[in-house]
Amino acid sequence: MRINLVAAAALSASTVFSGAAIAQTEVVVWVAGEPGQTTIYDELAEAFNAANADATITVVKNSSDLFNPALIPALSAGEGPDLFTFGTGPGQPAALIAGGLVADLTGAYYEHSWGDTIPEGIIVQTSSDGKLWAFGNEVETTGMFYNKAIFAENGIEVPTTWAEMEAAVAVLQAAGYDTPIGLGAADKWPVSHWQSMMFGRYAGPDGIEEVLFGDGAWTDDAFVAASAKLQEMGQAGWFGATPVAIGYGELMDRFWAGEVPMTFTGPWVIGGGIEAAGDRISDYSVFAVPPFEDGQSIHPTNSIGSGWYIREGSEAADVAIRFLNSMFLETEGRVALLNAGTIPVGPLDAALADANMSQLAVDIWKTSDDHAANGTVPAFLDTITPGSLTTVSYDGLQALLLDVMTPEEFTAEMQSAWSAAKAAGEIMLPGGLAEQ
Amino acid sequence: MFLDPDSKWAQRLNPVLFLLPALTIYIVFAIYPTYSVIEYSFTDWDGISPEREFIGWANYQRLFSDKIFWEAFRNTFVWSGVIIVINVGLGLVIAAMLARVWKARLLIQTCIVLPVVISPMAVATIWRWMYQPTGVINQVLESIGLGGFATPWLGSPDVVLYALALAHSWSTIGLSVIIFLAGLQAVDEDLYEAARVDGANALQQFRFVTMPALRPVTAVVFILTLTQSFKVFDIVWATTQGGPIRFSEILSTYMYKRGALENQYGYGSAIGVSLLVIVSIATIVYMQIQNKEDR
């Protein structure tokens, strides 16, 4: 009886102490995605939870068009996620930082030697006033995805000059492809990928930088010429007769079904493409859009898009930083990201040796790397400029395609919105960290 | 300790006690948010900063010079007009016809009412798919020799607003029909009998018996349709986001863009308040006309 009592007491004590030992800190993480859809971040969270008994990462997905409207009130109420993805660059995070809603990560940057992994160019887009506000985690690019089988059927080689590009489109149109290049412009944002790439090609990296952080204007000749070229391509039916009537999802369905020969997009479509096309996925590859004008260089689109922020006042900030480190600094996390088609920032040598990337992902990054020496330009101007400019750009790009606005009017409207945002202090000052 | 149930105080207090739970919920979830929106509309606030700068009527003054607001304003009126014509006009006709149908009435009624219970996002997805240039609507038109009417429904500036209004009506007309049908049950069958004796045909019976008898019900359906159509957001946002360009921009989508997407919560609130004022004025004007005609 006595032994039983001792055993019961020991059991109770062990239960109490084991309960204390497994007390966990929960980190709520918000990422863009459809509820119910599994992302690479779910897998990384699961691996982190398994390896860290003191922490639980809970990943919550919000669709991209509802993400920001849900995030801002949640953060303002002090009940937002501990860790979340959000736009970077001079436009979008300025209000969050000014409102004191995000934590200063400068200390973590030095403590965990993030500088060994995150390049200077990305720090510039995620810092202001000498402080780091976001962990710029992954690199995004865009390229021309194409159907090799359709090209081969019609005797088309991958175009390397604009004349060859025009010839390829003409052959495809003659062969009955009413939409040689799919656009999905009903959703507005896919056109901004073209805009970012073409603005970068015509203005070059310095020209873009001059507008974002200097005294340049969107009305400069290079941006007018780029807008005019996009409109000209639309008028010639390159994007089909009615690009603004077709949504991006429907367009991608047609692309993977082999009904549309080309579309300009990014590596985020690869997972869905593998599911949709099955064995035919080997029919697809990627090339760099040739220079639009003589003497123009190919500047790959290369930017971080969004970064990871920690909510100011989060009690789980330390665990959130550990989770960031496990995803983006440790080899296992980087390999998992690469296998999912996401390219983490920094040197990839160690991770690439263990990674098993899809051929399409390899193709798009090779396309980017081949021209990286020319200098890169932002892939998503719409995520690094203020929301008011994004609205004007989205509407204006559709107006260009519908031929109801001139390139001069379009760029003037952009500049007007940009100037207003600047005057209202909605634009971050050039970044960079203060030495510690 | 307790009030005498027959006392004057108890008789005054009892109804208040019964009302209190519902009233509390209404104040917390309807009155207070409305008051907050009105308060925000007088401020310059990004939705983030803890400080809201009071700027008086500046947001309302800005509305007058904002051409996009007026585009959205005009679109909202066209949108509501189309929906009212379909939901009230066609809804009444369908209900009157259904009231005279006995065979398969339940089946037809169910088919008309079913879309009402489908979530707005699902409705948007269905119609977005059907309205694609290669979608089922254009395919059907072409297969029956009406290919000339095939059009890029969501990409055509002249068509998009009407196309979306039709989709919205498809999903809401069932409610109008049900309300009208309920009203028709109350119409005295003797009135139709008398009309028939006087030689009235079906159309005349509808014009001189059904319509006057349903006047109060029509007012209810009109006001419900009007308020519902003015506050629609989901179907437009999930199909076109107000596009192409701004040809399907209505006040609710414009309010969302300015407020939630561009962090101009003060100005977005002013747009919201203007929407509230417009709906209130339209409702009051309609009620006045109704009352005048009844007198």
Measured CA to CA, the distance from residue A11 to residue B295 in angstroms comes to 84
| Residue whose entry in the numeric block shows the structure tokens 């401020």 | B43
Which candidate from B240, B245, B264 shows the least CB-CB separation from A399?
B245
Residue A236 pLDDT class (50, 70, 90 cuts)? very high
B243 close to A (CB below 8 A):
yes
| CA A98 distance to own-chain centroid | 23
Domains in chain A, CATH or no CATH each? 2-139+305-356 (3.40.190.10), 143-302+362-423 (3.40.190.10)
Alpha-carbon gap: B32 to the closest alpha carbon of chain A (Å): 17
Which pLDDT value is given to residue A282?
Answer: 94
A306 vs A138, A140, A310, A385, B260, CA distance in Å? Answer: 8, 9, 13, 12, 19
Q: Do B261 and A402 touch (CB under 8 A)?
A: no
pLDDT at A5: 46
Give the pLDDT score at A436. 65
pLDDT the model gives residue A11: 46
Chain A interface includes B241 (CB < 8 A): yes
Contact A68 B261 (CB under 8 A): yes
Look-up: residue for tokens 């969050």?
A96
Q: End-to-end distance of chain B based on CA atoms, in angstroms?
A: 52
The pLDDT, as a whole number, for residue A243 is: 92
Domain ranges of chain B: 67-294
CB contacts, 8 Å: A391 with chain B: 257, 261-262
For residue B48, which residues of chain A lie inside 8 Å, CB to CB? 72, 75-76, 95-96, 98-99, 101
Pairing type for strands A306-310 and B53-54 reads unpaired
In this model, does residue A419 exceed pLDDT 50? Answer: yes
Helix, strand or coil, per DSSP, at residue A287: strand
Contact A69 B260 (CB under 8 A): yes
**What is the torsion angle, in degrees rounded to the nearest 10, for the CA atoms of residue A72, residue A33, residue B272 and residue B51?**
10
Contact A186 B243 (CB under 8 A): yes
pLDDT at A382 over 70: yes
- Check CB contact of B50 with chain A, cutoff 8 Å: yes
Contact B257 A96 (CB under 8 A): no
The three-state DSSP-derived secondary structure of A57-89 is EEEEEECHHHHHHHHHHHHHCCCCCCEEEEECC
Which position has the higher pLDDT, A160 or B283? A160
Q: CB of A239 within 8 A of CB of A401?
A: yes
Location of structure tokens 């005054």: B12
For residue B121 the two structure tokens come to 């996002």
Report which DSSP code applies to A218. Answer: T
Residue with tokens 């089988």: A149
Task: Please name every residue paired with A377 in a beta bridge, in sequence order, or none if there are none.
Answer: A301
Nearest-CA neighbor of A208 among A218, A88, A435, A308?
A218
**Which residue from A132, A151, A376, A396 is spatially nearest to A261, judged by alpha carbons?**
A151
Whole-number mean pLDDT of chain A?
Answer: 88
Question: Quick check: A182 and A256 in contact, CB under 8 A?
Answer: no
Pairing of strands A284-287, A143-147: antiparallel
Q: What is the pLDDT of residues A322-362, one digit of tens each?
A: 999 999 999 999 999 888 878 888 877 778 888 888 899 88
Low-confidence stretches of chain B (pLDDT beneath 50): none
Interchain contact B142–A (C-beta under 8 A): no
Q: Is B120 on the interface with A (CB under 8 A)?
A: no
Locate all alpha helices (DSSP H) within A305-406, ordered by sequence: 317-328, 331-339, 349-354, 359-371, 381-384, 387-401
CA pair distance B113, B67, nearest whole angstrom: 39
pLDDT of residue A2: 46
Which of B261, B264, B271 to mutate: most A Cβ within 10 Å?
Answer: B261
Most confident by average pLDDT, A59-63, A137-141, A248-252: A248-252
pLDDT value, residue B3: 65
Beta bridge partners of A139: A343
pLDDT of A35 reads 66
pLDDT tens-digit map of A83-124: 999 887 656 677 788 888 999 999 999 999 998 888 877 888
Mark residue B245 as left, alpha or beta (left: phi above 0; alpha: psi -120 to 50; beta: remaining).
Answer: left
Does A388 sit within 8 Å of B262, measured CB to CB? Answer: yes
Chain-chain contact of B48 with A101 (C-beta, under 8 angstroms): yes
* Residue A285: both structure tokens together: 């590859």
Q: Is residue A43 within a helix (H) or strand (E), and if so which, with residue range?
A: helix A40-51
B/e letters for A72-100, b = 16+ CB within 10 Å, e = fewer, are bebbbeeebbbbbbbbbbbbbbbbbbebe
Q: Per CATH, the architecture of B67-294 is what?
A: Orthogonal Bundle (1.10)
Half-sphere exposure of residue A415: CA atoms within 13 angstroms, side-chain side? 16
Report percent pLDDT > 90 for chain A. Answer: 58
Quickly state the pLDDT bin for A36 (edges 50, 70, 90).
Answer: low
> Does pLDDT of A298 surpass 90?
yes
Please state whether the predicted TM-score (pTM) of the whole model is above 0.90: no
**Is the per-residue pLDDT at A1 higher than 50?**
no
Residues in chain A closer than 8 A to B124 (CB atoms): none
A19-28, A212-221, A368-377: which has the minimum mean pLDDT?
A19-28
- Has residue A167 got a pLDDT over 90? yes
What is the model's pLDDT at position A19? 45
Question: At residue A402, what are phi and psi to the nearest 5 degrees?
Answer: -85, 0
Identify all chain B residues contacting A386, using CB atoms and an 8 Å cutoff. 262
Task: Please judge whether A69 and B261 are an interchain contact, meaning their C-beta atoms are less than 8 angstroms apart.
Answer: yes
Facing A99 at nearest CB: one of B48, B129, B246: B48
What percentage of chain A exceeds 70 in pLDDT?
A: 91
